[in-house]
Amino acid sequence: MVVILFLVSLAASAFADQVVMKNGDKLTGSVTKSDGKTLVLKTDYAGDLTIKFDAIQSFSTAGDLHVTAGGKTAVGPVSTSGANVVVAAKSGGPVEAPLSSITVMRNEAEEAAFQKAQHPGWKEGWNGSANLGFALTAGNSETRNLNIGLNAVRTGLHDKLTLYETSIYATTSKVAQTPIPTQTTANSNAGGFRYDRDFAPRVFGFGSADFFNNALQNLDLRYILGGGIGYHAIKSPNTTLDLLAGVNYTHESFSDLVAPGDPPTLYNLSDHTGALTIGDNFMHKLGKSSVFNQSFLFYPALGTTNIAFPGDTPNNVHVMRGIFNMGLATKLNKWFGWQLTFNDVFDNHPLASTPPLERNDITLSTGLTFTFTH
């Protein structure tokens, strides 16, 4: 029985990958991957071991590895010969290269996972968060506030799709112990998407659509459809900065605006303009659990437009609009976190109305965040 167990162990070690350390230790297991600086050996007795190349005397594998060295890739069992690595390729004979030239080694499972990550389906590769905030007061005052947000990003090898949506709704029915008819004090929604496609390491093309409505501003819908080119000014795991430039088409429609005058009259208005798109997107990771995001899009009109209410003299107006977003998200655990967002929608020439419309629509919200990955 002892002899049989000894022979079985010899057979098992013969078919296992082996790593010989410079201190004389011998490790057996299964080589899963390497980045050219370290080698990962999966063992039954200690799980995954990450070993520095500098500490390895030699190694050999029984199974196939996908090896990239000097810009070329070969597949087959791997062994070392002095300062070189030898791949027993199934076609074309053995391939030998300096050990220092290795950039990637992967076993079949790691290679399959890598290839899938490079070409994910549309349902894969998503990361994002959804946040919900709610506030309620009662007693001397009665108010209700609700804010909802969604941000989702799908990143591929050469493209990225970003979706977003924010909504805020608030009502008041009592102020300082005085009941009043329920009034809506905030009711706005914003959403949109942007698709980026790299056609050079630093340069990409993009297309975008943004939608916004504000009931208190009598803005039924404003949509901005645009596209252009972008530049990855900073592109690192912890920090990214994209600069954008392009053109867009903007359409907006208002209803039941109150024109100044005696007596006041209601009027509707629809308008459309062509404009430039200039802006940036910035992201920076603060430690392991917090992420800061900032974006700014500026839309100066390409020409002037006539904006006037009934009975007024048309005037040529150079319209300039902008959207500024800023957010800080912190993970509390794997699924939940906290988020603070600030949004400012700017219009340099709001329509005449009673009461007058402000140039800026500002939203500051906070709440719990549910994060997801697929």
Residue listed under structure tokens 């990962």: 40
Regarding whether 168 and 32 lie in a shared domain, the answer is no
pLDDT at 6: 38
Closest among 35, 87, 80, 74 to 60, alpha carbons compared? 80
CA dist 172 and 364 (Å) reads 18
For the stretch 312-355, pLDDT in tens is 555 666 778 888 989 888 888 888 888 888 888 888 777 666 66
Region for residue 220 given its phi and psi (left: phi exceeds 0; alpha: psi -120 to 50; beta: otherwise): alpha
Regarding whether 131 and 56 lie in a shared domain, the answer is no
pLDDT at 364: 80
CA dist 11 and 257 (Å) reads 86
- What average pLDDT score do residues 123-145 get? 81
Regarding whether 244 and 331 lie in a shared domain, the answer is yes
pTM: 0.70
Q: Print the domain residue range for 361.
A: 126-373
Residue 11 pLDDT exceeds 70: no
Q: Which of 118, 150, 169 is the last residue of a domain?
A: 118
Regarding whether 248 and 113 lie in a shared domain, the answer is no
CA dist 191 and 373 (Å) reads 21
List phi, psi (to 5°) of 143: -135, 155
pLDDT at 71: 81
Residue 297 pLDDT exceeds 60: yes
Q: Which of 118, 137, 155 is the last residue of a domain?
A: 118
pLDDT at 45: 85
Q: Are 289 and 331 in contact (CB under 8 A)?
A: yes
Q: What tokens were used for 132?
A: 């919900």
Burial string for 248-263 (b: 16+ CB within 10 Å, else e) reads bebebbbeebbbeeee
For the stretch 69-86, pLDDT in tens is 888 889 999 998 888 889
Regarding whether 90 and 157 lie in a shared domain, the answer is no
Regarding whether 155 and 64 lie in a shared domain, the answer is no
Regarding whether 147 and 36 lie in a shared domain, the answer is no
Count CB atoms within 10 A of the CB of residue 347: 20
- What average pLDDT score do residues 160-166 get? 90
Query: What are the beta bridge partners of residue 204?
Result: 198, 230
Regarding whether 89 and 164 lie in a shared domain, the answer is no
Closest among 72, 69, 27, 73 to 46, alpha carbons compared? 27
Regarding whether 172 and 107 lie in a shared domain, the answer is no
pLDDT at 269: 78
Closest among 328, 326, 327, 324 to 359, alpha carbons compared? 324
Q: Which of 60, 94, 118 is the last residue of a domain?
A: 118
Regarding whether 204 and 71 lie in a shared domain, the answer is no
How many domains are there within the chain?
2
Give the confidence band of 271 by pLDDT, cuts at 50, 70, 90: confident
Regarding whether 102 and 233 lie in a shared domain, the answer is no
Regarding whether 335 and 187 lie in a shared domain, the answer is yes
